[in-house]
Amino acid sequence: MKVLFTGGGTGGHFYPIIAIAQELNKRIEKEHFPELRLYFMSDNVYDERLLFENGIAFIKVKTGKVRKYFSILNILDVFKIPIAAIHALVRILFLFPDVV
């Protein structure tokens, strides 16, 4: 079974993902799950050590950012965000996870 986790650029999403991965890994040992493969898709690895310790593969995707303040980068990201969304979708389609 392939499980894909996703998240943004802060730890607010990351540590709950680690807790879920730890629980899934515990249950694998006790119950007869199919082979479990865990993936984390983001623009930033956040904590590579924790991913490795919990058997989670990192998949890097491009991202854009919508800033709440004036920046010339907002104009560039108008083009970057749709391209990044297509890139992420293609990565997901090739991975074809059972759970997202």
Q: What is the pLDDT, as a whole number, of residue 9? A: 63
Cα atoms in the Cβ-side hemisphere of radius 13 Å centred on 4: 17
Q: Could you tell me if residue 79 is inside a domain?
A: yes
Q: Compute the CA torsion angle 50, 53, 57, 61 (nearest 10 deg).
A: 10
Q: Which domain holds residue 28?
A: 2-95
Q: Could you tell me if residue 88 is inside a domain?
A: yes
Supply the pTM of this predicted model. 0.86
Q: Could you tell me if residue 100 is inside a domain?
A: no
Q: Could you tell me if residue 75 is inside a domain?
A: yes
Q: Could you tell me if residue 89 is inside a domain?
A: yes
Mean pLDDT score of the chain, rounded to an integer? 90
Res. 23: pLDDT tops 90:
yes
